[in-house]
Amino acid sequence: MTGLCVLAAASAFVAGDRLYTAVVCPSLCFSFAILLCWGLGPAIVAQSIAVFVVATKLKHTMGQAALVAGEYAVALGAAYLVIVIGDPDPFHKTATAERLGDAVTIAGSALAWLLAYNLMVWIAARLRLGPARSRRVTESLPYQTLFKASLLLLSPVLAVAAHINEAFVLLIFVPLYAVQRMARLSAERARVARVDPLTGLANRRALQRRFTDMVATREGPHIALLMLDLDRFKHVNDALGHEVGDRLLVSVAQRLQREEPVDGVIGRLGGDEFAILATNLHDVTQAELIAGRLLAALAEPLRLDGLPIDITGSVGIAVYPQHGEDFATLMRHADLAMYEAKRRGDTAAVYDPASGHTSPQQLGLLTDFRQALETKREQVTLHYQPQVSLTTGEPIGVEALLRWRHPGRGPVPTAELLQVAEHTAVMQLLTTRVIDEVVQQVAQWRADGLNLRASLNVSARDLHGGEIVDQLARRLALHGVPPELIQVEITESALMSDASRAHATVERLAALGVGVALDDFGTGYSSLQHLRKLPLTEIKIDQSFVGGMARNSDDAAIVRSTVELARALGLRAVAEGVENEYTRQMLAGTGCTLAQGFLVARPMPGDMIPAWLARQAPPLPPTHPTPAAVLVDHGVNRGLDGVARMETP
């Protein structure tokens, strides 16, 4: 029986993961049977030999083996005490009542073993690791208890079988294998619940539980949560396939693990997002140093299928307790800091509560805006600002502008709203709403006898997805609107964020027959290749240049050069922010095509456009710059008195 106990120990294995592990070994079934047949001493000897065999196989220290052997010895002693009190003799008594009493006694001894063993494990863990960290050791006790209870209750069957016929002992290996298999599957399910299946890192649930342990046991004043997001990971999936993308994530996980903080843990949240918990930090600077080491670990290119792939990422940092006292809050703030790092072009950023777009007020604003789009549609409206020809004064088109009146704050500036919404799914809701209303409004104007082109703005998120093309096609067909009466305005920053996907979407829009305008030209990272490669119809000159023409010769030169560039490429040039007659005359002298601004008209609801058109005077004659305008254009006149400028709200 001792030999079988040692043989069973040789089949032991470790179940669990890096955070929570348990040793599964069936030797207890044999040592407890020895206890029933031959007493406490032989049982302790057999179990101790089995423990040291397991320790050797799993490369544990002899100190650890001695501790576990002691725990087993105490548990066997508690079980033997119950047996002595019950005085069972299952091999010689014949009375049914006495046999039933023996069964109850043996069941009680098994229960005593479980209670004593779990108590010893709990005490040892608290003494070695402290109250909170002991949870990491005792986490697997429920699964171990089920497995060990099964072994203990098989032991009486094994003992009786051995007493009757030694050959019957071999039959015990079938149910023993089933019990061990059950324990392995149970431990695997527990592991899957805590581990990311692709990389083997901790998942969100394990990170949260580890954070709870850190909060209870931290030695330093701070715990940091770092969120790391890979840059342009979608390009790898699109170009090389998801299988290569998965291999890239596994390689990234391996590199990050080499820089895992002491007493910290690295996990994967999903996609290309990773999270790192670090404890015992004395200030935020230490968290930034950890972020630097993690990013440095990714600096060397990976080679996948013979191709070198550069890996870069952005890290957001949130620190307990300054930036949040619970895991969910820290996660949200670290995520916001990570997007702030991407927005600024930095590799890492620490959460800043004072930053406007990451404040709780702005997050609440985003929630309110989503609700307004979904359930309170009357709060969100579109106003239309006319665009007129600078040579004839004839209205040519309109631009759709977003307006939202918050029930508590009143009108919300569009720039503030888009700043918090552009990286979220709310932008898709907004784009869907704008497309539906603009196309429907153009159809209504056509029914009233008006053929006005309407422009609508889209975000970088819309260009990267491409769904906007399909949605426009469906709406144009539904309302019978010619595609040339709709124009999409895109910004240079949207093109720069993911040029290949943005260009593909623009090409599809042009193939649909929809016009494409490059908005806010000159304010972003301008690249003339966009003008050469993209099927554009219009360039919009930003109001920051147009509004400064009368006072700044540099602005005037930029506007004039942009108009000449547009004319050479066969594109319309539209000047935004035209707010006085003098600026209009200067623009007409440059050959600019269209003007848009308060001088022409303020934005107005769509149903007011027909009345506005009816009030317009006959088309204006062509105008040319006055002598004063020429002086400004050549940089002689540095300022004009009496020129009024109305600020755009």
Q: Which of 9-23, 164-178, 338-352, 380-394 has the lowest mean pLDDT?
A: 9-23
Nearest CA among 440, 487, 506 for reference residue 596: 487
Does pLDDT of 155 surpass 70?
yes
Give the pLDDT confidence of 75-84 residue by residue, as tens digits: 999 999 998 8
CB contact at 8 A, 235 and 348: no
Sign of CA dihedral 114, 116, 121, 125: positive
| Alpha-helix residue ranges (DSSP H) falling in 422-542 | 426-447, 460-465, 467-479, 492-497, 499-512, 528-533
Res 642: pLDDT: 33
CB contact at 8 A, 337 and 370: no
Res 42: pLDDT: 94
Report DSSP letters for 440-461, one per residue: HHHHHHHHTT---EEEEE--HH
Strand partners, 398: 386, 454
Integer Cα distance of 200 and 266 in angstroms: 10
Res 615: pLDDT: 85
Nearest CA among 472, 488, 457, 490 for reference residue 603: 457
Which two tokens mark 452? 């006005």
Q: Rounded mean pLDDT of 347-368?
A: 72
**Sorting pLDDT into bands at 50, 70 and 90, what band is 627?**
very low
Cβ-in-10-Å burial (0-12, 13-18, 19+) of 428 comes to middle
3 state SS for 543-608: HHHHCCCCCCHHHHHHHHHHHHHHHHCCCEEEEECCCCHHHHHHHHHHCCCEEECCCCCCCEEHHH
Integer Cα distance of 29 and 149 in angstroms: 9
Nearest CA among 1, 13, 347 for reference residue 147: 13
Q: Which of 121-135, 275-289, 479-493, 535-549 has the lowest mean pLDDT?
A: 121-135
Integer Cα distance of 50 and 27 in angstroms: 7
Does pLDDT of 632 surpass 60?
no
Res 99: pLDDT: 65
- Select the more confidently predicted residue: 3 or 524: 3
**Sorting pLDDT into bands at 50, 70 and 90, what band is 645?**
very low
Res 138: pLDDT: 59
- Of 8-12, 99-103, 432-436, the range with the highest mean pLDDT is 432-436
Q: Rounded mean pLDDT of 62-87?
A: 90
Does pLDDT of 139 surpass 50?
yes
CB contact at 8 A, 314 and 342: yes
Q: Count Cβ neighbours within 10 Å for each residue of 232-245 and write b for 16 or more, e otherwise.
A: ebeebbeebeeebb
Q: Which of 134-148, 283-297, 412-426 has the lowest mean pLDDT?
A: 134-148
- Of 353-362, 503-512, 628-637, the range with the highest mean pLDDT is 503-512
Res 168: pLDDT: 81
Res 427: pLDDT: 81
Compute the residue count for the chain: 649
Res 136: pLDDT: 57
**Sorting pLDDT into bands at 50, 70 and 90, what band is 361?**
low
* Type of residue at 550: A
> Which residue matches tokens 């497309």?
435
Cis peptide bond upstream of 321, omega within 30: yes
- Select the more confidently predicted residue: 155 or 422: 155
Sign of CA dihedral 215, 218, 224, 229: negative
CB contact at 8 A, 577 and 547: yes
Instruction: Indicate left, alpha or beta for 270 from its phi (over 0: left) and psi (-120 to 50: alpha).
Output: left
- Select the more confidently predicted residue: 68 or 649: 68
In 221-330, which ranges are E strands?
222-230, 265-270, 273-281, 302-304, 307-309, 313-320
Q: Count Cβ neighbours within 10 Å for each residue of 384-406 and write b for 16 or more, e otherwise.
A: bbbbbbbbebebbbbbbbbebee
Q: Count Cβ neighbours within 10 Å for each residue of 2-17 and write b for 16 or more, e otherwise.
A: bebbbebbeebeebbb
- Select the more confidently predicted residue: 16 or 316: 316
| Alpha-helix residue ranges (DSSP H) falling in 130-241 | 134-138, 141-164, 173-192, 204-217, 233-240
CB contact at 8 A, 77 and 31: no
Does pLDDT of 637 surpass 70?
no
Q: Which of 85-94, 360-369, 434-443, 583-592 has the lowest mean pLDDT?
A: 85-94
Domains of the chain: 2-192 (1.10.1760), 204-358 (3.30.70.270), 381-633 (3.20.20.450)
Give the pLDDT confidence of 563-602 residue by residue, as tens digits: 999 999 899 999 999 999 999 999 999 999 999 999 999 9
CB contact at 8 A, 382 and 389: no
Res 576: pLDDT: 92
Question: How does the average pLDDT of the chain come out, rounded?
Answer: 81
* Type of residue at 485: L
Instruction: Specify the DSSP element, H or E, that contains 27.
Output: helix 27-38
Res 46: pLDDT: 94
Strand partners, 404: 380
Q: Rounded mean pLDDT of 44-54?
A: 93
Integer Cα distance of 390 and 585 in angstroms: 8
Res 16: pLDDT: 56
Does pLDDT of 134 surpass 60?
no
Q: Which of 27-36, 65-74, 191-200 has the lowest mean pLDDT?
A: 191-200
Give the pLDDT confidence of 268-317 residue by residue, as tens digits: 988 888 999 988 888 888 889 999 999 888 888 888 777 778 788 889 99
Question: Coil, helix or strand for 537?
Answer: coil
Res 486: pLDDT: 95
Question: Coil, helix or strand for 16?
Answer: strand
Give the pLDDT confidence of 423-452 residue by residue, as tens digits: 667 788 888 899 999 999 999 999 999 999
- Of 144-153, 166-175, 395-404, the range with the highest mean pLDDT is 395-404
CB contact at 8 A, 74 and 120: yes
Res 628: pLDDT: 35
- Select the more confidently predicted residue: 305 or 623: 305
% of the chain with per-residue pLDDT over 90: 29
Does pLDDT of 646 surpass 60?
no
